[in-house]
Structure 1
Amino acid sequence: MHFYHYQLLQPNNFAPRHFGNVDEMNQAMIDAWNKRVDENDRVYHLGDISMRPQNTPTNEETYDMLRQLNGHMTLIKGNHDYHALFKFLAKRNELLSDGKPRFEFEDVGSLLKFDHHQFYCTHYPMLLGKVDKIINLHGHIHHYSVPIPENINVGVDAPERDYLTENLPWGSPLRGEEILEMYDKKKKDLADQIARQQGK
């Protein structure tokens, strides 16, 4: 999500976000999240919560931002997330209405099962080799896409989102069905590209 990351505001050659300021960008992600997530849902956040320095005042800002988001969160550590932030959040973890804590923490990743598939949720893309029914959901590379169908970039800036039939608001968390739609279309798209290159 990269809350507060003003360097991503347009214009830039990396992953331009089309907002006038970081407050607009942050609010767009909060609104998109809360439209899709209710208080009992769990969202797996695949790293890089916010771009703030490693100190207590900015940890407080990130905490206040996360408390505006509905539901439970499993926070998987990204390269811009600090252990100090996770410790800060853990000390202030609260129970939601279902009696479960708002935050869970993972240093490396989580494994989920969905509709006869396994989702390996990590921050960095993983090269899994020849697999069947295993998909690596990752972030980290913003608007880049690994040219392997089993690697699905689920970041808010990810190009794989263009495969979705539904035009979701920018920053929306993704559901399992949408992941599989992205996977199926990316797999077909890459196969078509190979066929064109081979002149078929």
Structure 2
Amino acid sequence: MPRSPRTFFTADTHFGHANIIRYTKRPFETAAEMDAVLVSNWNATVGPDDDVWHLGDVAHGTQRAEAILPRLNGRKHLIWGNHDSEAVRNWQGWVSSQAYAELRLDGRRVVLFHYPIAEWNGFWHDSLHFYGHVHDRLTPTSLSCDVGVDVWDYRPVAFNDIVETISALAPPARPA
């Protein structure tokens, strides 16, 4: 029996971006090797009917994005990152493409933005915030975390796995 579609999140794949390997200390020799591992990991994790929310910085250049994105499983949604060109934002394969989104998953509001936000819609009411951009340089909390590939073993991560991981963490600090 096939499994029910799931919702995954990822960010900062930077397909084709050789300098990101050095900048983030990724364990790859070349951009081609990195791209091959990212595509393989994505397709081993995500099924064709799953939703994947990519929270920005898809690729280094439009041609690289157009070569790789059709090869990735799932129904793909984009939250714009600072490295996403207009052409990448308008790629016909996205189910949706926007700067910001809010979802309801398992009864919880989930706020999606490329950048981490100090306080988001529903912050005081147990909503979650997922972001990219920081390449594992920001401490997650029980309500927010970086969903980028540098944090999650170079693959998209399922919503339930994120919630399970962050639920044991300290809540965000409340202002005095």
The answer to whether TM tops 0.5 is: yes
- Name 1:44's counterpart in structure 2: 53
Higher helix share: 1
Q: CA deviation at 1:147?
A: 5.5
Output aligned runs, 1:121-160, within 5 Å. 121-128=112-119, 130-146=123-139, 148-158=141-151
Where in structure 1 are there 5+ consecutive unaligned residues?
53-58, 94-101, 162-169, 192-200
SS in 2 for 1:187: coil
Segment of structure 1 superposing worse, 115-124 or 140-149 = 140-149
Give the number of aligned pairs: 159
- Name 1:6's counterpart in structure 2: 18
Q: Say what the alpha-carbon RMSD is for the aligned residues.
A: 2.1
- Name 2:77's counterpart in structure 1: 74
Distance 1:115 1:137 in 2: 15
Output aligned runs, 1:1-200, within 5 Å. 1-9=13-21, 12=22, 14-52=23-61, 59-87=62-90, 89=91, 93=92, 102-128=93-119, 130-146=123-139, 148-158=141-151, 161=152, 170-187=153-170
TM (norm. structure 2) is 0.81
With a CA cutoff of 8 Å and minimum separation of 6, indicate the structure with the bigger relative contact order.
Answer: 2
TM (norm. structure 1) is 0.72
Distance change >3 Å, CA 33–CA 147, structure 1 → 2: closer
Identical residues among aligned pairs (%)? 28
Q: Greater Rg, structure 1 or structure 2? A: 1
Q: CA deviation at 1:104?
A: 2.6
Higher strand share: 2
Where in structure 2 are there 5+ consecutive unaligned residues?
1-12
Distance 1:148 1:71 in 2: 28
SS in 1 for 2:59: coil
Runs of 4 or more above 3 Å deviation: 146-149
Does structure 2 retain, via aligned residues, the 8 Å contact 1:15–1:142?
yes
Q: CA deviation at 1:67?
A: 0.7
